[in-house]
Amino acid sequence: MRSEEDFIGKIDVPDNAYYGIFTVRADKNFKLSSSKVHMELIRAVILIKKCAALANMELQRLPKKEGDAIVQAAEEALAGKFDKEFILDAFQAGAGTPLHMNVNEVLANRAEEILGGELGKYRIIHPNNHVNMSQSSNNVVPSAVRIAAIKLSKPLIEEAKALQKSFEKKAAKYSKTIKIGRTHLQDAVPITYGQTFAAWASALEKDIRSLESSAKGLQELGIGGTAVGSGITAHPKFREKIIEFLNNDVKVVMAKDAIELTQNMNDLLEFSASMRRYASTISRIANDLRLLSSGPKAAIAEVILPEVEPGSSIMPGKLNPSVPEAVNMVSFQVVANDLAVMLGAQSGQLELNFCAPLIAHNIIQSEELLTNCNKMFAECIEGTKIDEKKTKENFDRTFGYATALNPYLGYSRVSKLVSEAYRMGVTLKELVVQKGIMSNEDLEQIIATANGPSEIDPKIKERIK
């Protein structure tokens, strides 16, 4: 062990550790969960450190030798060389100072080593004086949260679009497959499975636009605002320069008001809300698929989901809608995460929102969950089939297409026919044909166009008795 000292006192640090005294203290203080700070957030902080060193060198605040060593250390860390050095719990002290100092210490020690120094001595490179030059946890961590969220939003949106395409393909395949629509869980009017899948695809398209728009809102960074957003200790051109260097890796812009961004997390809240909206949509679709696949012998059973696993440890041959159920659970977690983000966003006080670690953890988890969920759900939809025979049997047994007869027979007459067919235990089509009111051919023609607007056929109307 080596001994390091801060203004609180001395503490032992493992000899070969690149982290230092601040990290050890934080690790002892905050053992709250099994979740570590996400590496995407750590990498975003490292990227900021690299760009800060480049900016400070260009502004002649940081000597080139020290700056180059920090840049090299940051590049090695971005390549994953020091992943095991980032040991802290995701739930930690406010504003994310521990995770920030963990990065500062690792980069400082590695830069010190590059320049011939010893780990933990900080005689050449200091975590605060050099690695953290012109920065503060209060603007580094929120900026890193935004960068991490932007990067993770790309695969999320890509997989969401793939899921949308899966629904669109099914819409084309089943464009002519008529089914009974259901409202209030009761038989309603005809609709096709093509229209059903197309409606689901349209809902996703709207939600994806919301995700894209809110992700774009994360591009504004308050980096360089230091402690409260005023920029104290930073070079007057530091904010402009670090944004310039960051743009070599991720598209960002300088905040118009860094003080506002130090206090206000609503851009992150809006992005979280867009994920909640998306989760609500896929959960609703999953609910529909579970209902439509129910049975297979004692319920609707029109949708055939892919067989992914046995459904029971005791009931032989049972298959469950496992993927839609998993979609539901992911969606519920995303909604819960959004609530945590909302509570965190509203908990900022005066010049700082201290909840950045909480907000980061929940947003990143939601992005990862939804990305993986989209991929799983798309595979499920690709393998989903419609049992067209069962769909037709269900359709023929219902009275839902009765509405299509209203323009020809009138609401009151159709209502009486429905009641009579129900009492007799026959289908409406059978009763109408038996009574000689309409031929089976004319009836089928009306039903075939009953899934949307249609003209009244005057010839059919003339033949009605």
Please write down the HEC assignment for all residues of 54-68: HHHHHCCCCCHHHHH
Contact 400, 181 (CB under 8 A): yes
DSSP string, 132-190: TTT--HHHHHHHHHHHHHHHHHHHHHHHHHHHHHHHHHHHHHTTT-EEEEEETTEEEEE
Residue type, 431: L
Query: How far, in Å, are 33, 39, 363, 365, 368 from residue 340 at the CA level?
Result: 16, 21, 9, 12, 16
Both tokens assigned to 351: 């010049």
The DSSP 8-state label assigned to residue 36 in this structure reads B
The DSSP 8-state label assigned to residue 449 in this structure reads T
Q: At what angle do helices 356-382 and 322-346 cross, to 10 degrees?
A: 160
Q: What is the pLDDT of residue 401?
A: 86
Q: Which of these CATH numbers, 1.20.200.10, 3.60.21.10, 3.40.50.720, 1.10.10.410, describes 149-224+247-387?
A: 1.20.200.10
Both tokens assigned to 432: 């109408």
Among 359, 213, 181, residue whose Cα is nearest residue 278: 213
Domain boundaries, the chain: 2-133, 149-224+247-387, 399-463
Contact 330, 369 (CB under 8 A): yes
How far, in Å, CA of 362 to CA of 333, rounded? 9
How far, in Å, CA of 333 to CA of 337, rounded? 6
How far, in Å, CA of 445 to CA of 460, rounded? 9
Q: Which fold has domain 2-133?
A: Fumarase C; Chain B, domain 1 (1.10.275)
Contact 145, 268 (CB under 8 A): yes
- Kindly state the percentage of the chain with pLDDT values over 70: 100
Give residue-wise pLDDT tens across range 333-375: 999 999 999 999 999 999 999 999 999 999 999 999 999 999 9
Among 79, 47, 62, 39, residue whose Cα is nearest residue 242: 47
CB atoms closer than 10 angstroms to residue 10: 9
Look-up of token digits 């020290």: 66
Contacts of residue 325, defined as CB under 8 A and 6 or more positions apart, other chains included, come to 286, 290
Q: What is the pLDDT of residue 310?
A: 84
Contact 114, 73 (CB under 8 A): yes
Q: What is the pLDDT of residue 451?
A: 83
The pLDDT averaged over each successive group of 10 residues in the chain (465 residues) is: 93 96 96 96 98 98 98 98 98 96 98 97 97 97 98 98 98 96 93 97 98 98 96 96 98 96 96 98 98 93 92 79 96 98 95 96 98 98 97 89 89 92 90 91 86 86 84
Q: Is the peptide bond before 296 cis (omega within 30 degrees of 0)?
A: yes
Both tokens assigned to 323: 């993927």
How far, in Å, CA of 219 to CA of 246, rounded? 11
How far, in Å, CA of 254 to CA of 237, rounded? 11
Active site residue 312: yes
Contacts of the segment 196-201: beta carbons below 8 A, 24+ positions apart: 196/171, 197/167, 197/168, 197/170, 197/171, 198/167, 198/168, 198/171, 200/167, 200/285, 201/164, 201/165, 201/167, 201/168, 201/171
Rg (CA), the chain: 31
Q: What is the CATH number of domain 399-463?
A: 1.10.40.30
Q: Which member of 175, 312, 419, 454 is catalytic?
A: 312
Give residue-wise pLDDT tens across range 275-318: 999 999 999 999 999 999 999 889 999 999 999 888 777 877 78
Grouping H, G, I as helix, E, B as strand and the rest as coil, residue 348 is coil
